[in-house]
Amino acid sequence: MSDIEALRARGDHRVNPVRFRLIEALARRSAAHEGEARRLLDARLAQLLAAYAEDVAHRAKGAAVAPADAAPMQGGHALSALGAHIAQQAALRGDGPTAPEGQTLTWFRNVWTRLSAERRLVQSLEKVPTNAGPLNSHNLVHQSLTLMRDVSPEYLHRFMSYVDTLFWLDQTTAPPQRRERK
């Protein structure tokens, strides 16, 4: 029985279903290759399985630990990644942030999210042509984002985070020639 099947049999695949699916996909991809490519994929698979097993062990002890690979997806901003890394390291040490540190980290995360959303709104305005008609797509997008900001700023922040994530995914999955043009 493989490690993946053992995790599934114990029900540990539910600890982090997305990461578990990634591991399964990598195992399938590895099985389709030979030689050096297979060796590299198997090495990465072993790393992911070890990290997943460690997370399962931590969860079994009652410690909620963020996955090692899971960087925040709010546009991949360095401040978000730093905050997640600090929280992860504190959880691994077992001495989570004190109340003031946690409040400060939350405050910085909220400020960064608002600034990122505002920056994206300004970028959308820059793309609107000066003589744009009422059905111009850039104009419509900017009007929608402005209305969203006026009606529910928090929703705009979450929406922009989602858009940043989709943009990041598009960039990472784009063929090399398409990445060079952007």
pLDDT computed for residue 94 by the predictor: 55
pTM for the complete prediction?
Answer: 0.36
Asked if pLDDT for residue 75 goes beyond 70, the answer is no
Asked if pLDDT for residue 100 goes beyond 70, the answer is no
Domain spans, the chain = 1-70, 71-182
Handedness of CA 42, 44, 48, 51 (dihedral sign): positive
Residue scoring higher pLDDT (37 or 168): 37
pLDDT computed for residue 90 by the predictor: 67
Q: Of 142, 140, 75, nearest to 114 (Cα)?
A: 75
Average pLDDT over all residues of the chain: 76
Asked if pLDDT for residue 9 goes beyond 80, the answer is yes
pLDDT computed for residue 70 by the predictor: 46
pLDDT computed for residue 65 by the predictor: 43
CB contact at 8 A, 52 and 20: yes
